[in-house]
Structure 1
């Protein structure tokens, strides 16, 4: 079932390359901050389609109409993400403050324990956060549903904690592998050009810089948006496993 989710999401994310470019342009202007909420809002729409769809269905990619609504959805998602990460952050700060009042071994021991507890809380918070966003999307965007802890926990219980964590680990691995493969291929091509130019007596530095710029462009306008949609689609489909 998890492999079916990955297969669906990989195919779904490549349905419309123009959408990837549009998201890439938004990413390019993300230093203005406002486009970040539009990107997040679009990913929310992907999740919304997924939680109301089925694996290997014929769901189309969301459009870019109603940008104001998409922007508002993006703000809601960011607030949810921040809220869920507050607890691990507060716990870490508490342990850091306690450790700062101790000395030597006791301080180190407290920090190690604090880091381990914080790590566990971060994993739980990230999982609950993503399922919370899916739960909000499934319930017609009701913001309070993102914090309905008992309902969200039941969703995760029904899916299975191990299956949820395994799916997330798989997403991380796939994301890293795709990014690494694309980057390696591009660098390999431009390295061949650079070496060939050097053999012919040309300065290869310009080719290497061009390769760096080309790789950055491909990552921003194609790979990044593709992986963003892939992850959002996968998370939404994971949520449907308990329905």
Structure 2
């Protein structure tokens, strides 16, 4: 079932390359901060489509319309994301602050323990956060439903904690692998051109610079948007397994 989710999400994310580019353009201006909410709002629409859909369905990618609504949804998503990460962050700060009063091995040991606990809590918090967004989408965008911890826990219980965590960790691995492979392929192509230029006695520094630029553009306009949609779709379909 988990593999079916990945297969569906990988195919779904590549349905409309024009929308990937549009999302990439918005990402390009994310340094202005406001576009960030449009990005999170669009990914929320992907989640909304998934929680009301089925695996291997024929759901289309969401449209870039009603931008004000998309922006508002994006703000709600960011609020949920920040809220769920507060606890792991506070736990780490407590350990770090406590380690500041110690010295040597004790401080190092405390930081290692704090880091490990924070890592575990971080994974749980991220999973809860993703399920919270799905729960909010399934309940017509009700922000309060994103913090209905009892209901969200019941959802995860029904799906299975192991299945949820395994799916989430799988998403991280797939995301890293795809990004790394695409980057490596592009780097290898331009490395061949560059080395060929050096062999012919040509200064190929510009080739490597151009390759880095192309790599950045592809990651920004295609790979990044593709992976964000892939992750949102996968989490939404995972949530739908308990319905």
Same fold by TM-score, threshold 0.5 exceeded?
A: yes
1:50 alignment partner, SS class: helix
Give the structure 1 partner of residue 10 of structure 2: 10
Equivalent residue for 2:135? 135
Task: Tell me which residue corresponds to 2:40.
Answer: 40
Q: Give the deviation of 1:191 after TM superposition.
A: 1.3
**CA positional deviation for 1:105:** 3.5
The aligned residue for residue 58 of structure 1 is 58
Q: Could you say which residue in structure 2 is the equivalent of 1:80? A: 80
Mapped pair 1:93 → 2:93? yes
In structure 2, what is the equivalent of residue 174 of structure 1?
A: 174
Give runs of aligned pairs for residues 97-136 of structure 1, distance below 5 A.
Answer: 97-136=97-136
SS across alignment from 2:120: helix
TM-score, normalization by structure 1: 0.97
Q: CA deviation at 1:198?
A: 2.0
Q: TM-score, normalised by structure 2?
A: 0.97
Q: Indicate how the Cα distance of structure 1 residues 98 and 198 shifts in structure 2: closer, same or farther if over 3 A, else same.
A: closer
Q: Distance in 2 between matches of 1:50 and 1:195?
A: 46
User: How far off is 1:213 after superposition?
Assistant: 0.4
Number of the residue aligned with 2:240: 240
- Residue 131 of structure 1 and its aligned partner are, at CA, apart by 0.3
The whole-number CA distance in structure 1 between the counterparts of 2:95 and 2:226 is 39
CA distance in 2, matches of 1:115, 1:174: 24
Q: Any idea what the Cα deviations from partners look like across 1:20-74, whole Å, max 9, x if unmatched?
A: 0001100111111111110000000000000000000000000010000000100
Displacement of 1:120 in angstroms is 1.6
**Residue 220 (structure 1) aligned with residue 220 (structure 2):** yes
Counterparts of 1:138 and 1:74 in 2: how far apart (Å)?
16
- Deviation above 6 Å: which 4+ runs of structure 1? none
> CA, structure 1 residues 192+124, in 2 after alignment: closer, same or farther (shift >3 Å)?
same
Deviations 1:105-140, CA, capped at 9 Å, x for gaps: 333333232222212211111110000000000000
Counterparts of 2:206 and 2:240, CA distance in 1: 50
Shift of 1:100: 1.8
Note the residue ranges of structure 1 that are not aligned, 5 or more in a row. none
Q: Report the number of matched residues.
A: 243
Partner residue, 1:157: 157
Distance in 2, Cα, partners of 1:161 & 1:235: 14
Structure 1 CA distance for aligned equivalents of residues 227 and 124 of structure 2: 23
Query: 1:177 Cα deviation (Å)?
Result: 1.3
